Amino acid sequence: MFVEIDRNSSISIKKQLYDALTYKILNKELPAGHRMPSSRQLSDQLSIARNTVTEIYDQLVAESYLNTYQGRGTFVAQLGDCKISSSQKKDFSEKEDTSDKDIISLVAGRPDLESFPDKQWLKACRDVLETHSQRFFDYGETNGYTPFRKSLVKYLKYHKGIYCSYNQIIVTNGTKHAAYLIASALKHKYSKVMIESPAVDFIARTFHQNGYDVTAAPTDNNGMIVENLNESTPSLIYTSPAHQFPLGGTMPICRRQKLLDFAAANGHIVLEDDYDSEFRYKGAPVNSLYQLNSERVIHLGSFSKTLSPALRLGYIVVPDKLVDVFNVYQDSVGNPVNTLNQAALNELITSGVYESHIYKMTKVYKAKMKMLTQSLSDAFAESIIINGCAIGLHISVEFTDIMFNIKNKEIFRDNGLDIELTSEYNVDKPSSSCNSLIIGFGHLNTEQIQQAIQRLKKAIDDIKRKN
């Protein structure tokens, strides 16, 4: 007959028969009204079980490819012209990535990827899986796995001085998700957001996409310039006070108090993005804004820097009075965070592995930071000011004797560097020139750091020559 069955194929005989028949019917090789062979005939012809044929005939009748009339037989139905798509024959050739191998990226945001505690992570995964608890395999709790949130309560208390209940914590897929979640959950209460500028780029985009009126708040080396704020419509205010991104500043206590007084007086809510303050190289962890006013601050935390951005794990702490608003939103959208990963990270935290990892990595990053600032001083002496070197995985470097514009990036690239200007992160008008560069170093080893600064020196000489 007209159907070929390949007994060596990995595709089941049922599926082959179904595919062949539907293809022929849709392409009119078996036209409307055509009488199909009986199931006995077809099974004999193809040497396949009659049951298989009957089952597929039944299915094709159910899906209206065929009609069957008691005592008369089975016939091809009258169908439209829509066929199996011709794209099936297309050749989907694949482009391979061709990325330049000798570029050192100084773009900020990535931690040391070689130091991921893979053995401990695997052990935690095994421990979780070996409990065979169904809760790990089911749809997760809307605000995140409760034992994990309870561990976070303790962690936040000891490491950030944040006192909260686990029901104020929502586990997120990281800060992008947190921004989206906040923008969505609060958009019926707030329609404006003030964002410190420069700031990480997805914040403005997320709020803009959610219909917010976005304004930029000027920012200097001490963080957002709070003194200039004068919005009286209740709004959201985004800031990264522990380690301003990208400028690097830590917001002083007087500005923090002014910001919170301003928020309290006008009904604003402050979004405190604390993306990397776990790594502090001098002194003690900074007090959080949340600590100063837990009714006006949503605190955003992440494991992307402390462990790995691949995990997609973070959390927000919301004020008591906003818990219900977030619950309503979360109930409606569900939580997108993998429960097994939450449970594994919970193991790392409760067993102390997470804390030891941060302790170990703080030393690693401190050594890198020292190497970086030393290399910069050696290369540029008095012509630079380094900002943000007490905390985190990036610094900003102000040059006193040169302005950069966006076109200079090509010269950096010609010298083997991927590097960004701080002005690329301006929230309002991305200005094309500024005197400061961002240097992310978390992902580099000390050799790469030294080489990068040599290249930077040469690139800047090139830029000066061309000016």
Q: How many CA atoms lie within 13 A of 465 on its CB side?
A: 7
- Which amino acid appears at position 339 of this protein? T
Instruction: Kindly state the smallest distance separating residue 462's Cβ from its own copies, in Å.
Output: 30
Q: Which is nearer to its own copies, 157 or 464 (CB)?
A: 157
Q: Name the nearest CA neighbour of 170 among 28, 342, 285, 304.
A: 342
Residue 16 dihedral angles phi and psi, to the nearest 5°: -60, -45
Q: Tell me the two tokens of residue 71.
A: 């005592």
| Least Cβ distance, residue 152 to its own copies (angstroms) | 12
For residue 343, give every residue at least 6 positions away whose Cβ sits within 8 Å of its Cβ, in sequence order, or none.
Answer: 124, 128, 136, 145, 147, 148
Nearer to its own copies, 52 or 375 (CB): 52
Least Å from the CB of residue 411 to its own copies: 25
* Token pair 């109930």: residue: 331
Q: How far is the CB of 89 from its own copies (least distance, A)?
A: 8
Rounded CA separation 6/43 (Å) = 14
Give the nearer residue to its own copies in terms of CB position, either 218 or 309.
309
Helix/strand/coil for 158: helix
Q: Smallest distance from the beta carbon of 402 to its own copies, in angstroms?
A: 27
By beta-carbon proximity to its own copies, the closer residue of 252 and 430 is 252
User: Cis bond leading into 252, ω under 30°?
Assistant: no
Nearer to its own copies, 84 or 386 (CB): 84
List, as one string, the DSSP characters of 330-389. HHHH---S-HHHHHHHHHHHHTTHHHHHHHHHHHHHHHHHHHHHHHHHHHHGGGEEEE-T
CB of 297 to its own copies, least distance (A): 9
252 or 267, CB closer to its own copies?
A: 252
